Structure 1
Amino acid sequence: MEKKKMNSRQLKALETKNSLYVSALRLFKEKGYENVYVEDIADMAGTSKGSFYTYFKSKDDVVLEHYNKIDDSYENAFKGLDSSKPYLTQLLFVLQAGFQFCDDLGYEFLSIVLSNQLSPSESSSLVIQKDRKLYKITKTIITQGQTAGEFHDKYDTEFLLDVCLTFYRGLFLDYCFMKNSDIKLSSYGEERLQLFIKKVLFK
C-alpha cells in the first residue's frame, strides 16, 4: 500500500511498526539477540509491549521482517532497471541492491537472520522460498537473457537460477564468517558476483 493512499491512522501504524523494527535491530546489534526482550524493544521504540504484539508475534518475526524489506529493495531496483543495458548488468544491479541494503545491518544481524532460518523450529526457510520477489525477479532476468541469446541456453532456466542464487546466498554466509565490521558486504560481494555471473551464465 502506497503512503499517498494511506490515511493518518494507517501511516501511524506503519511508523510504529518500523520504529519497533529499527529499535529491535539496534538492540540486537548492541546486546545480542538472546539478551534482548520484547519489553526492551517496546521501550526503545517509545511504545508498549502490547503494541509490539500488534505487529510481531515474537522476536523471530522481527527477523523475518528483514526478508520483506530486502525483497522490497530488489523490487525497487528491478523497477528502476535500464532495459537498454545488457542482462548481465541488470542482474548485477538487482542483486547488488540486496548487498547494499544489508551494509548498515552488519554481519552480527545477518548472522542472526541466517541462524534463525537454520533453526529446527523453522519448518521451512524463507531464504529459499520460490514465491519470494528475489526468486521471481532473478528468474525473469535470466529468462530474458536466455531469450536474447546473452545467457547460456544449453542449461535449463531453473538450473541457472538455482546455481546463481546458491552462490549469491553463499556470499552472505561467507561475509558473516569473516566477522569483520570494517568490510562492507556490497564491496565484498560485487566483484565476486560479477565474476561468477560472467563465467557461469554469460555465453
Structure 2
Amino acid sequence: MTIETENQKSVKGRIVAAAWQLFYEKGYNGTTVDDIIDLSGTSKGSFYYYFNTKDELLNTLSMILDDNYEILKEKMDPDMNSYDKLLYLNYEAHSMIEEKINIDLLASLYSTQLVAQGHRSLLDQNRTYYKLISSVIDEGQKRGEILDEVPVSELVRYYSMCERALVSDWCLNKGEYSLREYSKKCMPVMLEHFKR
C-alpha cells in the first residue's frame, strides 16, 4: 500500500469516525457536514471527495465496527481459550455498540440492510469481522476447544446470526436493557453446543 493510499484511508477514516461520534452525541438530523469536517480536522474538499452527501455515511457502519474489531484483535490475549475469545469479542463489540452507536440509527440501518438490493455491507465476508471470527474458530478447532465436526464457515454463520439476533432484539426493545449484559448471559447458551 502506498503512503498516499494510507493517507487517504486515514482521512476517510477520520471523517467516518467523527460522523459516527456526532451521530451518537447530536443525533443524525442534528449533525451537519460542517460539524463532521470540524471534528475530523479535514476539509470540505476532502469530505466531498469521499462522500456526496451526509446520507452516504450511513453505509459506513461496517467500517466503524471493523475498526473496533481491529483494536479488539490487538488487545485479545492470544493464549485465551478460543471459545472464551468468541465470548470476549461478543461482549466487547456489544459494549461498543451500546456506548457509541445511536440505537435509533442502528435500528434504521438494520432495517435498510433487510430491504437493500444487491450488496449488504454487514454481510460482506471480506470484512475484518468475518476474518477474525473465522480465524478464532479455526484456531479453536485445531486446539480441540471447539467442535470440528462442523465447518468453520457454518460456525461463523451461526455466531454472526446470534450476534445480529441479540442486537436486533435490543433495538426492538428500544434499548430498555443493557445489550452487553444480555449478550454476556445469552451468548454462552447459544454457543454451548459448539464447545468441546
- The TM-score normalised by the length of structure 1 is 0.77
- Would the alpha carbon gap of residues 15 and 80 (structure 1) be closer, same or farther in structure 2, given more than 3 Å must change? closer
Provide the residue aligned with 1:42 in structure 2. Answer: 33
Mean CA deviation greater in 141-150 or 100-109: 100-109
Shift, 1:43, TM fit:
4.1
Kindly provide the amino acid, as one letter, of the partner of residue 177 in structure 1: L
- Would the alpha carbon gap of residues 12 and 50 (structure 1) be closer, same or farther in structure 2, given more than 3 Å must change? closer
Q: Supply the distance in 1 between the matched residues of 2:34 and 2:194 (Cα, whole angstroms).
A: 49
Q: Which one scores higher on RCO, CA 8 angstroms, separation ≥ 6?
A: 2
- Would the alpha carbon gap of residues 12 and 164 (structure 1) be closer, same or farther in structure 2, given more than 3 Å must change? closer
Shift, 1:145, TM fit:
0.6
Provide the residue aligned with 2:187 in structure 1. Answer: 193
Q: 1:114 aligns with which of 104, 107, 110?
A: 110
Kindly provide the amino acid, as one letter, of the partner of residue 22 in structure 1: Q
Residues 150, 202 of structure 1: 8 Å contact kept: yes
- Provide the aligned C-alpha RMSD in A: 2.9
Q: Supply the distance in 2 between the matched residues of 1:191 and 1:16 (Cα, whole angstroms).
A: 35
Shift, 1:57, TM fit:
2.9
Kindly provide the amino acid, as one letter, of the partner of residue 196 in structure 1: M
Number of corresponding residues:
187
Shift, 1:168, TM fit:
1.2
- Would the alpha carbon gap of residues 142 and 45 (structure 1) be closer, same or farther in structure 2, given more than 3 Å must change? closer
Residues 111, 176 of structure 1: 8 Å contact kept: yes
Q: Which consecutive unaligned segments of at least 5 residues does structure 2 have?
A: none
Q: Supply the distance in 1 between the matched residues of 2:33 and 2:164 (Cα, whole angstroms).
A: 32
Residues 69, 93 of structure 2: 8 Å contact kept: yes
Deviations 1:142-192 (A, max 9, x none): 011111111111112211111111111111111111113x42321221211
Kindly provide the amino acid, as one letter, of the partner of residue 179 in structure 2: L
Q: Supply the distance in 1 between the matched residues of 2:78 and 2:37 (Cα, whole angstroms).
A: 44
Deviations 1:17-61 (A, max 9, x none): 54344334444x3xxx5xx39xx5124446587664233233342
Map 1:143-162 → 2, pairs under 5 A: 143-162=138-157
- The TM-score normalised by the length of structure 2 is 0.79
Mean CA deviation greater in 51-60 or 111-120: 51-60
Deviations 1:48-75 (A, max 9, x none): 8766423323334212222111111112
Q: 2:95 aligns with which of 100, 111, 114?
A: 100
Provide the residue aligned with 1:70 in structure 2. Answer: 65
